[in-house]
Amino acid sequence: MRRYWDKYHVPESIEETIETMERFNGEAPLLAGGTDLLVDLMNDDAHVPAVIDITQIPELNRVEVENGDVVIGACATMSDVARARVFQRSASHLV
């Protein structure tokens, strides 16, 4: 099987993500869901030095109320949203 990247990083914070991106001079793409990235790599028969998987960063997975606003993190899944108390209480028709 063809390898499309050499290293796979799973940072635990946004700061660690930025450090990793800098280490690879911006040539390591971010992986959030993977569909677009994997299709692009396969279609272009491309190779990147590393992939940075940001799905485990807590700040990006949150679904919370903050100052009266609902904040949905960039990596929050539809399942995360459906399980969030704020939607179950106030907008159950949406989930």
pTM, two decimal places: 0.79
Supply 43's token pair. 């279609």
Helix boundaries (H) for 1-95: 14-23, 35-43, 58-61, 78-83, 85-90
Q: What is the pLDDT of residues 57-68, one digit of tens each?
A: 999 999 999 998
| For residue 90, pLDDT beyond 80 | no
Greatest mean pLDDT among 10-14, 29-33, 86-90 lies in: 10-14
pLDDT in tens, 39-88: 888 888 888 999 999 999 999 999 999 998 889 999 999 899 888 888 77
Check: CB of residue 13 under 8 Å from CB of residue 57: yes
pLDDT of residue 3: 81
Q: Two tokens at 40?
A: 């692009």
Q: Which of 14, 78, 6, 3 is nearest to 42 (CA)?
A: 3
